[in-house]
Structure 1
Amino acid sequence: MTLSDVVMLERERQLCHYSCHIRPLVHNCMHDPLHIHQPTLPVAYPQLVLEIVSERGFNPSQVLKLAQLPADILANTGGRITPMQYTQITACAAQLLNDQGLGMEVGLRMRPTAHGFLGYAVMTCANLHEALLLSLRFMRLRQRHIQTAYTREQGTTVITLRESHDFGPVRHFFLEGMLIGMARSSQFLLNTDSLFGELWFDYPQPDYFERYQDRLPCVKFEMPSVQLRTPSCYLDQPLRMADAIASRQAVQQCERELAEIGNEEDFLTNLRELLRDQIDTGPGLDRVAASLFISGRTLKRRLHANGTSFQRLLDDVRFGESKRLMRNPALSLQQIAFRLGYGDPANFTRAFRKWAGCSPSEFRARLRF
């Protein structure tokens, strides 16, 4: 066995260990309040990650296999994947490449065209200020898990990023990829020779930073927040691809996408409320679909399009209701099981152990009435 074989075997062992680490993140997210299982991200994002993997001498299919995703998941160039699937791909790619700074590389290669219609709308704006406002307006189409705030401070335009939830081991990837990607897109829009402005991160300088330092603008670590800081003088500069008609058409498409997202979120909210109302009867898919005046097949299709399923949503509601009911000491676990639609309390116990990682009695013992 050669030295390279030993290295690859060790790398695969580490990857298997890492896959076991992120797998619970996938299976424990049966409920989806953060929309991490809804297909909102263009496949251009993970395709860029796999392009880097290929350039560094690895087979991209290995990443998808380790992430436990279908080999053809990125085949449709106009398709979408879920944030969780993107997280799986990026995490496994970083491990395969042994490069936790992969987010920096992705950000440096990011182009507005990767964002679909939103990218075209931004590229055809009149100036950088208009493009910035448009990006923030429709940010929800591409990134729901990082909020952006836009302010001006004495000649400096400041964009601050804040996560809506804990990103865990992939926090650096997403913050670096997004912040550097925004700086790279600004450079592309203005057709300048180099990146400009300052990048702030709120964590210590990572070991991999030196590998990318020469390709980045001024970067500061251990700052109060995560920010892109740009001289305001750039905002009024015209964009090289400015086209009012093309921009208006792209914006209209973005507005349609945003309306669809809103409609689907309302649909899922109404469906959850309906399941809560019928929870004690053990609601079935066809009966619930009839209550919504749609067919069971249509309900399945819409849930699949939102990255979830009827059983996952039902489990989510049951889990939430079970935790609420267990705070009432007057109710026995058997009564709670019946209220959740379980004819046999043993089935409730098995389901709850799968959701919470412990039995209902163990969970209840931790509560303070």
Structure 2
Amino acid sequence: MAPILPVPSLLARFGLDPAPIITEAGFDPGWFDDPEHRVPFAAIGRLLALCVERSDCPWFGHLIGEQAGIEVLGLIGQLASQAPDVGAALHEIILYLHLHDRGAVPALWLTQERAILAYVIHQPEIPGIEQFYDGAVAIIHNIIKKLCGPEFRPLEIRLSRPRPADVEPYQRCYRAPLSFGAEHSAVVFDVNWLRHPLDGADAQLHAQLLQTIECFDAQWAEDLIAHLRRVLRQVLILGAAPGDTSLAHAARLFALHRRTLNRRLRARGTSFKALIEEARYDVARQLLRDTNLSSTDIAVSLDYADASAFTRAFKRWSGVTPGTWRASPPVR
């Protein structure tokens, strides 16, 4: 709940009574008293979509994100704040965010001059997805600025949502070039910031926090199938390279021999082939619904040999071609 705690006060700013709207979305107003209360991704999406409808504010998610920062990550945020430099802090956030956020994954891409920190939702059929991305990018921006200090300025803000009629709220917040309709929602900044040391970092406290978080991570890792599903969706959404969807590659990610991974999956009544096909179908529907990528580009992302192979697979899954599905996706 931590990232969406500002919802009641924001609704009130628009002259709305928060309680009926929150209740209509299926939330208990008392949940806003507990930042650690867990709610499904889709439930938050429904709440955000309803807030946009009632407030008539198409950037409601952005306003939520503007008010949140590294503190919404709880222990993970505390750990990152004690890292030796910005690069190490962002690495730890990326490594452990699954303990806080089960519906999306962060990704950091580097070039010689730029760092690109993106947020990618891997759960399918999420309402209010534009609001999620607006809020997430605002939070990412606030986190990086907190780590780097007041001198930080992004080079570019990328948002996958269509360009709204009024972009002033975004311009006021970021003071950087804006790219709407982007492939990924991300903050782009000078790569040299990754070497910036964190003032007041405490190495001993960092070690203690890391030990605590690794205990939580070990407990979470026991659910092998859920973990593997998340990893496969991450690989596919970010664009699979040849071989990334193989059993051998997945086994390496888990530090297991491929036969060991296969055996553990069989013991749980499934197989790697079944899980990768499930992930491909989920991601294919998400990309068809939420992006303008062509079938050829989606086929490449899903690690198919060509668009015809992807079309045959999608028709086997859904009974229709990707083009037909995109023209009339199921009503949410």
| TM bracket (short chain) | 0.5 to 0.7
Q: Distance in 2 between the 1:190 and 1:78 partners?
A: 26
Cα distance in 1 for residues equivalent to 2:180 and 2:109? 20
CA contact (8 A) 2:4 2:64 kept: no
**Matching residue's letter, 1:204:** P
- Matches of 1:85 and 1:93 in 2, distance apart? 12
For the residue of structure 2 that corresponds to 1:121, the secondary structure is helix
- How many angstroms apart in 1 are the aligned matches of 2:161 and 2:52? 19
Q: Which residue of 2 aligns with 1:113?
A: 71
**Partner of 1:101 in structure 2?**
59
Q: Which residue of 1 aligns with 2:163?
A: 205
Q: Does 1:237 align with 2:196?
A: yes
Tell me which residue corresponds to 1:67: 25
Deviation at 1:208, TM superposition (A): 4.1
- Structure 1 match to 2:80: 122
Report % sequence identity. Answer: 17
Which of the residues 41, 47, 52 maps onto 2:10? 52
Tell me the CA shift for residue 156 of structure 1: 0.7
Q: Which residue of 1 aligns with 2:300?
A: none
Question: What's the TM-score once normalised by structure 2's chain length?
Answer: 0.61
Alignment-derived partner of residue 87 in structure 1: 45
CA distance, structure 1, for counterparts of residue 73 and residue 153 of structure 2:
20
Deviation at residue 157 of structure 1 after TM alignment:
0.9
Deviations 1:324-354 (A, max 9, x none): xxxxxxxxxxxxxxxxxxxxxxxxxxxxxxx
Q: Does residue 1:171 correspond to 2:129, yes or no?
A: yes
Change (3 A) 1:188 1:65: same
Where do residues 329-340 of structure 1 align in structure 2 (5 Å cutoff)? Answer: none
| CA RMSD, Structure 1 to Structure 2 (Å) | 2.9
Structure 1 position 199, deviation (Å): 1.2
Cα–Cα, structure 1 residues 267 and 143, in superposed 2: closer, same or farther, change >3 Å?
closer
TM-score, normalised on structure 1? 0.56
TM-superposition CA deviations, 1:14-51 (whole Å, max 9, x none) = xxxxxxxxxxxxxxxxxxxxxxxxxxxxx222212223
Q: Is the 8 A contact 2:154 2:187 kept in 1?
A: no
Structure 2 distance, partners of 1:130, 1:234, is 11
2:186 aligned with 1:227? yes
Native 8 Å contact 2:163 2:181 kept in 1: yes
2:81–2:201: 8 Å Cα contact kept in structure 1?
yes
Counterpart Cα distance in 2 of 1:224 and 1:69: 32
Instruction: Indicate if the aligned counterparts of 2:45 and 2:126 stay in contact, CA closer than 8 A.
Output: no
AA paired with 1:243? Answer: D
1:261 partnered with 2:220: yes
Amino acid paired to 1:171 = I
Partner Cα distance (1:185, 1:143) in 2: 16
Aligned AA (1:244): A
Separation of aligned partners in 2, 1:183 and 1:123: 15
Aligned length, in residue pairs: 231
What residue in structure 2 maps to residue 252 of structure 1?
211
| Residues 245, 56 of structure 1: alpha-carbon distance in 2 compared, 3 angstrom cutoff | farther
- Contact map agreement 1:112 1:185 (CA 8 A) in 2: yes
Q: Distance in 1 between matches of 2:66 and 2:184?
A: 21
Q: CA deviation at 1:267?
A: 9.5
Shift, 1:110, TM fit: 1.6
2:249 corresponds to: none
User: 1:89/1:169 Cα in 2 relative to 1: closer, same or farther (>3 Å)?
Assistant: closer
Q: What is the deviation of 1:111?
A: 1.4
Structure 2: any 5+ residue segments left out of the alignment? 229-317, 321-332
